[in-house]
Amino acid sequence: MIEFNNICKTYQVARRGSGFGNAVKTLFKREYTTINAISNISFSIHDGEMVGYIGPNGAGKSTTIKILSGILTLDGGTCLVNGQVPWKDRKEYVRQIGVVFGQRSQLWWDIPVMDSFELLQAIYSIPVPRYRNNLDELTQLLNLEELLKTPTRQLSLGQRMRCEIAASLLHGPKLLFLDEPTIGLDAVSKIAVRDFIKRMNAEHKTTVILATHDMQDIEAITNRVILIGKGRKLLDGTLEDLRLEAEAAEPECKSPETSKDEKPEISEDGNPEILEDENSETLKDKGSKPDLDHIIARLYEKLNIM
């Protein structure tokens, strides 16, 4: 179980103007700006849950994942994962977690994928029978057999991401933290990754936290969503809760006004003809539901977090 209570995290970012003169000034005096990456965020996640963690760029998603991974420490609050503080006794803690950063690799670039897996076996001290069993299962589920002898640098992005996910699960972690795991993947690769994550959750009760901008991933994988913005938690609920919140944010549609002298044009069937503006969305088919991307965009606008 994950318990995240009143977590705060700030960064000091150096600022300076352009030009040689300002560059020289920074040698003697630097100006810093404090960035509140996370401000009093609290949530709890039970074993076996699959949670989407969403928000605009700079909202604090990756910072949260890094805190849960033990990479960053806190400025305030408490964080417990299965009774452990992530950044304390890290060697023991990381045996329980798997982490995938879409733009970072845990595979060695110039050696075959199989060699990277064997290095990870040694790093995590995975017993040989367990390692072979997990490797066989992951190879079959992710279709890696043809990739194991290939150097990482020669893999396509989709192939590499499948290997990255396998690498994060070789030691059989109870928790899986995913930060943009399908970034840049084609449709076929995305579907394969989504199906695999759902299968691992169903068969091994793996707890999954998915931080992403891809709303199709959220809709396909998760059953709970936490929305954050500007370092604050804004919503915690189901996808249906998101839709209801977005509907509440949608301004009421007003019918176009006509002057007293104007008469609506009559169509051939005798009904008044409604003229639709190309740029207007108020007269679109009311039976069609907006997709999740539009729902999130409406919430961002309503909550003023862009």
How confident is the model over 133-158, as a mean pLDDT?
92
Q: pLDDT tens digits, residue range 84-103?
A: 999 998 888 998 999 998 77
Q: What is the token pair recorded at 171? A: 């030691």
Give pLDDT, residue 78: 93
How confident is the model over 255-266, as a mean pLDDT?
48
Q: pLDDT tens digits, residue range 225-247?
A: 999 988 899 889 988 888 887 77
φ and ψ of 83, to 5 deg? 80, 0
DSSP state of 189: H
Calpha distance 236→224 (Å, rounded)? 7
Sign, CA torsion 94/99/104/109 = positive
The alpha-helical segments, DSSP class H, found in the chain are 20-25, 61-69, 90-93, 113-124, 128-142, 157-169, 187-204, 215-221, 239-249, 292-303
Cβ neighbors of 115 (< 8 A, separation 6 or more) are 108
Q: What is the token pair recorded at 102? A: 């879409």
Decide if pLDDT at 255 tops 60.
no
Calculate the CA 216 to chain-centre distance. Answer: 11
Number of H helices, E strands in the chain: 10, 9
Residue 112 near residue 150 (C-beta atoms within 8 A): yes
φ and ψ of 151, to 5 deg? -60, 145
Closest alpha carbon to 158 in 184, 176, 136, 137 = 184
Give pLDDT, residue 283: 36
Cβ neighbors of 185 (< 8 A, separation 6 or more) are 157, 158, 161, 193
Q: What is the token pair recorded at 70? A: 């033990």
Q: pLDDT tens digits, residue range 53-93?
A: 998 888 889 899 999 999 999 999 999 999 899 999 888 89
Calculate the CA 157 to chain-centre distance. Answer: 18
pTM of the entire predicted model:
0.79
Calpha distance 247→255 (Å, rounded)? 18
Place of tokens 């002898």: 149
The strand pairing partners of 14, in sequence order, are 32
